[in-house]
């Protein structure tokens, strides 16, 4: 790009910025003077305002923190088919630990489970025929406590109600590249649309239903779950950032466990195959860009019951994620009592 062209673009940027500040003319209207600059403002403003407000992003965190209901350590990456020229990536991870307050033979099986879930949602916006682009990112991390109790309905059926409570920190950041983005979008959106931090509390409930049955050559299990969480902000770096929302997540999983002749240091090894589905209801699906997906997994399971620990088995495996508007994968370390 020649020096003269670059200088002209800078002059145009400052003229448009001055008119926006002094006259109060909307930015997107000012940029209609020269395409594709007007489309840049329209695309960013429409995309963020319609999909990625604080309430929507907070609800997405509430939907994903503990919908599976398992005490696992896991990480998952979702590649989102975003509209227009954007690309979305969602990374979700959690560290969890469950402590049971019961012994073998007890009818009541209370437990407390601590989650440290984190979530990163990022959209890369590239604009055709220009050198402009913007990267928007939302990060969330918190501590969630689940208080529940397992009830053995029969030899094969188990029901587990639980209450969830905790808090998390939600942070928004954005980076801009290009004369228009740095000169107009950055000062216009900083602290309101992007570049803010908010703190929120979580309160909700979960209900899980499990069924297990032994067959001649394998064991099978069905896991059904529903989790409802409400989130509400109580402090933020900007008076304009305040949100209250909720999310309802439904999931179902079918597992089959197949014994193998492998014995590792006295621990019998089995193969676990799974297929599942998840539906996310409420505003969370709007922010994430998808509201349902299925997953297909395989894992190696070790029977550690001879150690006398509370956990009877441990699993290490992975899953492939596929759904309308989303693909991805996950790695999971799980244990069961």
Residue 231, phi-psi category: left (phi > 0), alpha (psi -120 to 50), beta (remainder): beta
pLDDT of residue 302: 87
- 171, β-bridge pairs: 139, 197
The number of domains in the chain is 1
Residue 270, domain extent: 54-336
Residue 36 domain-assigned (yes or no): no
Q: How far is residue 247's CA from residue 163's CA, in Å, rounded to a whole number?
A: 15
Mean per-residue pLDDT of the chain: 76
Residue 234 domain-assigned (yes or no): yes
Q: How far is residue 38's CA from residue 29's CA, in Å, rounded to a whole number?
A: 7
Residue 47 domain-assigned (yes or no): no
pLDDT of residue 26: 40
pLDDT of residue 198: 87
- Inter-residue contact 175 to 211 (CB < 8 Å): no
pTM of the model: 0.77
Residue 130 domain-assigned (yes or no): yes
∠ Cα 212 216 220 (to 5°): 25
CA contacts within 13 A on the Cβ side of 96:
28
pLDDT tens readout for residues 3-47: 343 344 444 444 344 433 443 434 333 333 344 445 555 555 565
Residue 242 domain-assigned (yes or no): yes
pLDDT tens readout for residues 192-246: 566 788 899 999 999 999 999 998 888 999 999 998 988 888 988 877 777 888 8
Q: How far is residue 298's CA from residue 52's CA, in Å, rounded to a whole number?
A: 34
pLDDT tens readout for residues 58-109: 777 777 766 555 656 788 899 988 665 567 888 888 888 888 887 777 778 8
Residue 314 domain-assigned (yes or no): yes
* CATH number of the structural domain spanning residue 249: 2.40.128.130
∠ Cα 321 325 326 (to 5°): 25
How much is the average pLDDT of 277-289?
79
Residue 217 domain-assigned (yes or no): yes
Residue 15 domain-assigned (yes or no): no
């Amino acid at each position: 790009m020649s020096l003269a062209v670059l200088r002209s673009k800078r002059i145009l940027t400052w003229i448009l910025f001055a008119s926006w500040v002094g006259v109060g003319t909307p930015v997107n209207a000012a940029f209609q003077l020269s395409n594709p600059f007007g489309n840049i403002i329209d695309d960013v403003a429409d995309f963020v305002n319609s999909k990625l407000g604080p309430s929507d992003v907070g609800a997405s965190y509430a939907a994903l923190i503990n919908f599976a209901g398992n005490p696992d350590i896991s990480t998952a990456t979702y590649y989102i088919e975003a509209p227009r020229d954007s690309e979305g990536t969602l990374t979700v991870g959690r560290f969890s630990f469950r402590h049971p307050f019961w012994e073998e033979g007890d009818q009541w099986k209370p437990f407390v489970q601590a989650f440290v879930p984190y979530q990163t949602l990022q959209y890369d916006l590239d604009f055709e025929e220009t050198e402009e682009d913007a990267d928007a990112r939302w990060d969330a991390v918190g501590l969630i406590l689940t208080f529940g109790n397992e009830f053995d309905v029969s030899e094969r059926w188990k029901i587990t109600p639980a209450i969830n409570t905790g808090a998390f920190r939600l942070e928004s950041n954005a980076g801009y590249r290009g004369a228009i983005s740095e000169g107009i979008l950055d000062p216009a959106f900083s602290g309101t649309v992007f570049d803010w931090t908010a703190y929120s509390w979580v309160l909700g409930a979960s209900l899980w239903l499990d069924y297990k049955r032994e067959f001649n050559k394998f064991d099978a299990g069905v896991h059904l779950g529903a989790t409802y969480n409400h989130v509400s902000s109580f402090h933020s770096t900007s008076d304009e950032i305040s949100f209250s929302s909720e999310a309802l997540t439904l999931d179902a999983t079918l597992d089959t466990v197949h014994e193998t002749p492998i014995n590792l240091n006295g621990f019998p090894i089995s193969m676990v195959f799974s297929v599942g589905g998840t539906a996310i209801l409420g505003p969370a699906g709007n922010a994430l860009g998808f509201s349902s997906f299925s997953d297909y997994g395989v894992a190696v399971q070790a029977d550690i019951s001879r150690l006398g620990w509370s956990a009877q088995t441990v699993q290490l495996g992975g899953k492939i994620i596929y759904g309308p508007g989303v693909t991805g994968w996950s790695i999971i370390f799980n244990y069961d009592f």
